[in-house]
């Protein structure tokens, strides 16, 4: 068992029933020349969470935790992409358009893949999702239930979009979520701050908020 300091309160975690979920740490969102930057965003604001994620990922692997990665993206023919999603924004940077790292947010293209710093290793499931939520039209819930997981340690991008949507989905399905604040990022710092406040508000309406350092310290104590 692990005792983790968090907001709104500390919680006990059974490591055998816990997974690390890293959401959409993809080149198209985090690297210069990707989809995020093409929309006018400062990708350095997201890159600040890479090192905390890498440290947490190493600690989770050392403890033998289940690690799951997600990638947002679509089929090459865009048959799984709603027209309302495709038609947002400037036509030159819409989903499916050619970019410096291949077609934007298309499965199998270099830009849709996970950044090298956090690349999955053998045995770590990768969930390809067509929407913002990690549970929508994916087998994530089945994987978690098959492994008897009840608690998710969550990092990824962006805090207020794919991370928040996934945490809300998980909450409705009965999973406990701990959002690791420094392991998440947003192109809009104010959105990041408020999104984290929303998770822990009202006694933890969607879950808990902690950080990577607290988690690593707790894991070290648990393994001592």
What is the pLDDT at residue 71? 98
What is the pLDDT at residue 220? 85
Q: Is 24 among the catalytic positions?
A: yes
Say whether pLDDT at 14 is over 80.
Answer: yes
What is the pLDDT at residue 89? 74
Alpha helices in 48-162 (DSSP H): 50-63, 83-86, 140-146
* Helix (H) or strand (E) segment spanning residue 153: strand 151-157
Any idea where the domains of the chain sit in the sequence? 2-223
- CA 22, chain centre distance (Å): 4
What's the pLDDT band for 91 if we cut at 50, 70, 90?
A: low
What is the pLDDT at residue 222? 79
Mean pLDDT lowest among 75-84, 87-96, 157-166: 87-96
**Structure pTM?**
0.96
97 contacts: CB under 8 Å, gap ≥ 6 = 91, 103, 104
Catalytic residue from among 162, 177, 183, 184: 162
Q: Can you tell me which residue has the tokens 């309302």?
A: 84
15 contacts: CB under 8 Å, gap ≥ 6 = 1, 2, 63, 65, 222
Torsion, Cα of 30, 113, 126, 41 (10° steps) = 20
Tell me the C-alpha distance between 111 and 26, whole Å. Answer: 7
Neighbouring-strand partners of residue 127: 70
Select from 45, 65, 12, 27 the least CA-distant residue to 210: 12
Say whether pLDDT at 197 is over 60.
Answer: yes
Catalytic residue from among 24, 128, 182, 211: 24
Say whether pLDDT at 221 is over 90.
Answer: no
**Mean per-residue pLDDT, 73-100:** 90
Q: Is 162 among the catalytic positions?
A: yes
Average pLDDT, the chain: 96
Catalytic residue from among 28, 129, 132, 183: 129
Q: Is the dihedral of CA 116, 118, 122, 123 positive or negative?
A: negative
Say whether pLDDT at 153 is over 80.
Answer: yes
What is the pLDDT at residue 15? 96
What is the pLDDT at residue 88? 82
Tell me the C-alpha distance between 12 and 200, whole Å. Answer: 16
What's the pLDDT band for 76 if we cut at 50, 70, 90?
A: very high
Instruction: Provide the CATH topology of domain 2-223.
Output: Rossmann fold (3.40.50)
**Mean per-residue pLDDT, 10-37:** 96
């Amino acid at each position: 068992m692990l005792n983790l300091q968090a907001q709104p309160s500390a919680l006990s975690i059974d490591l055998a029933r816990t997974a690390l979920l890293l959401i959409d740490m993809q080149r198209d969102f985090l690297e210069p020349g990707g989809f995020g930057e093409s929309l006018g965003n400062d990708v350095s604001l997201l890159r600040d969470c890479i090192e905390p994620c890498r440290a947490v990922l190493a600690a989770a692997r050392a403890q033998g935790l289940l690690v799951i990665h997600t990638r947002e993206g679509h089929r090459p023919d865009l048959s799984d992409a709603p027209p309302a999603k495709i038609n947002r924004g400037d036509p030159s940077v819409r989903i499916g358009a050619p970019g410096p790292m291949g077609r934007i947010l298309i499965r199998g293209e270099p830009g849709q893949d996970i950044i090298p710093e956090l690349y999955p290793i053998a045995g770590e499931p990768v969930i390809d999702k067509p929407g913002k939520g990690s549970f929508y039209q994916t087998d994530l819930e089945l994987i978690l239930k098959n492994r008897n997981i009840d608690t998710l340690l969550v990092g990824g991008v962006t805090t207020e979009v794919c991370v928040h949507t996934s945490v809300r989905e998980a909450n409705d399905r009965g999973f406990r979520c701990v959002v690791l604040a420094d392991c998440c990022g947003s192109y809009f710092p104010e959105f990041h701050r408020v999104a984290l406040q929303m998770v822990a508000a009202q006694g933890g309406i969607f879950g808990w908020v902690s950080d990577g350092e607290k988690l690593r310290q707790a894991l070290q104590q648990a393994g001592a």
